Copies of this chain bind each other. A is one copy, B any other.
Amino acid sequence: MLSRIEPNSAEPVSRRVFRELRQAIVTMQFSPGRPLSEQEVATQLGVSRQPVREAFIKLSESGLVTIRPQRGTFVVKISAKQVIDARFVREAVELAVVRKAGAEMPARVIGELRANLDAQRAAADEREPERFLELDEAFHRAIALGVECDYAWRVVEETKAQMDRVRYLSLPQATPVDRLIAQHEAILDGIEARDPDRAEAAMRLHLREILTSLPELERRFPDLFDSEPAARSTAGQTADTVA
């Protein structure tokens, strides 16, 4: 399941473990609810428990696993509320970003985005959904970084982690890729036309897309979803302020 970590040096082992596990989780190779043992993962990857432990900490910070002391570490189940909340934040941030892009996106980046769009079409023609997902992410990232919203993109990336699992879950089904590409084009048109309102509207429409498949998926895969939306005992470090 997990490939052994070679002493590639240069990059810390803990980071590699983190990347490996993160990838496995968002691509649904590790089912929600699955227990992850420090010991087990460590032996499978051929490293000690320590780096694995640190990777677990980062994953829990990202909200992908929950660490229950003395009990175990588990891949968090997909929570409809969590996905909706993440989408809310993502929409808020990306709308602000795309407005900025509509106002001041440099021409050079617009060219890159056009090229990316062509690549998306190619990936769609050749029926390579995974490749399309990569290009999709790159498209959104290029918009954010194009107007120097690095931190904003970092936040979006985190919210995406939640939503990506849903996307991978809906991959086998017919994904209306053409539809998504058309939406991307509308966004880019708005940016190129220097029309923040149009760009924002197009982006808003685009980001609503994921909500359509959510109820269907929750019905089809009930055991992958968190049954009750209560009990948020995740990572949330509480700033202990008073009322």
**Residues in chain A within 8 A of chain B (CB atoms):** 12, 15, 18-19, 22, 54, 57-58, 61, 69, 82, 85-86, 88-89, 91-93, 95-97, 112, 115-116, 134-135, 137-138, 141, 149-152, 154-155, 157, 159, 232, 236-237, 239, 241-243
Q: Are B54 and A151 in contact (CB under 8 A)?
A: no
Determine the residue in chain B with the shortest Cβ distance to A26.
Answer: B239
Determine the residue in chain B with the shortest Cβ distance to A54.
Answer: B57
Please give 4 more A-B residue pairs, beta carbons under 8 A apart, in addition to A92-B152, A116-B243, A137-B241.
Answer: A19-B237, A54-B54, A85-B149, A85-B151
Cβ distance A194 to chain B, nearest Cβ, rounded Å: 20
CA–CA, A98 and B97, complex, Å: 18
Q: Are B150 and A232 in contact (CB under 8 A)?
A: yes
CA–CA, A12 and B237, complex, Å: 13
Cβ distance A50 to chain B, nearest Cβ, rounded Å: 9
